[in-house]
Amino acid sequence: MVQNEDPVPVRDRVTGLTSGVLLLIAAAAWVSVVRSGLQGDDMMMTMPMPATVADALAFVVSWGIMMTAMMLPSALPMISLYGAMQRGSAGAARKGAPVALFTAVYLLLWAASGVPVYIAHTLLMTLAEPAFAYGIALILLAAGAFQLSPLKQMCLRGCRSPLGFLLGHWRAGRRGSLALGWSHAVYCLGCCWALMLVLVAAGAMGLPWVLLITAVVAAEKLLPSGEWFARAAGGALLLLGVTVALRPDLVMVLRGGHAM
C-alpha cells in the first residue's frame, strides 16, 4: 500500500535521461557479450578443472555482464516508472532510494545468481557420459515444467505489470525503496532462472543461445500474449528434454560441438 500520498507517474526529461542511461549500460554489456561470443570465448568451456576461486570470480563477473545485457532492457519499464513516481510524489515518498541505487539492487542480484549457477555447472561437468547427457535432459525437463507452473505465472505477472507491482508494494523511505527493488528483482529472477539454467547447461553460454533466451525473456515480459509465449517455450523445452533423453548424442549439437 502507498503511504502518505499515492505516487503519480510523471514523464519528464529526467525520466527520458534515466531510460537513456540504462539503455547505454545495456548496450555496453551487449557489446561485451557479442565480442566475447564472436571471439569464441566461453567461460564454461575454457575453465580448468578442478575449478578455483579465481575462476569462480571471473565467471561471476562475466555472468553479471551477460545478465545485465539480457535482463536490463526488459526491467527498464519498472526502473523508469519507479524514478517517475519518486519525482511525482512529495513528502516521505521522495526520500526513497535514488534510481541508480534502485537499479544496483537488480544488477547485484543478477550477478550473485552466477554463484549457484557456477557451482551447478561445475558439478555437471564432473559427470561422465552418458550421465552428462541425461543431466542436460533433466535440466531441460525441469525448466520446461517450471515454465508451465503456477509459480512461473505468478512471477511473470509481477514482471509484466510494473505499475501494479509498485502500487501494491510501495513503501516510503530509502529502506522501503530498496526492499521494493529487491522484491521485484527476486520476481524478475524467479521468472527467468530456469531459462538461464538452460542457457548454461544446454547452450554452454554460446552467443546463439544468449540471443535466443534473450528473445524469449523479452517476449514473455513485453508482448501482449507473453503468458502464452511462456507456456509455448515450456512445451518446447519439455519436448527437447525428452528428445535429448532418447538421443544423448544431440548434446553435442546443443552445446556447439562440445559435449563436456
Q: Where are the alpha helices (H) located in 88-172, listed in sequence order?
A: 99-112, 114-125, 131-147, 150-160, 162-169
Q: Which of 225, 229, 28, 92 is nearest to 147 (CA)?
A: 229
239: pLDDT confidence band, cut at 50, 70 and 90?
A: very high
State the cell numbers at 119: 557451482
Is residue 24 over pLDDT 60? yes
| Alpha-carbon gap, residue 155 to 153, rounded angstroms | 5
Q: Which of 185, 205, 189, 181 is nearest to 66 (CA)?
A: 205
SS (H, E, C) 214-245: HHHHHHHHHCCCHHHHHHHHHHHHHHHHHHHH
**Residue 189 CA to its chain's centroid (Å):** 5
Quick check: bond before 248 cis, omega within 30? Answer: no
Query: Using an 8 Å Cβ cutoff, are 221 and 74 in contact?
Result: yes
**What number is the average pLDDT over the span 64-86?**
83
Q: Which of 110, 103, 97 is nearest to 78 (CA)?
A: 103
Average pLDDT, the chain: 79
In tens, the pLDDT along 123-148 reads 887 888 788 889 889 999 999 999 99
Match 562475466 to its residue by C-alpha cell: 62
Q: How far is CA 152 from CA 8, 45, 75, 96, 225, in A?
A: 29, 30, 17, 29, 15
DSSP annotation of 3: -
| Alpha-carbon gap, residue 136 to 140, rounded angstroms | 6
Confidence (pTM): 0.77
Longest dimension (CA), the chain: 62
In tens, the pLDDT along 46-55 reads 444 456 777 7
DSSP annotation of 248: G
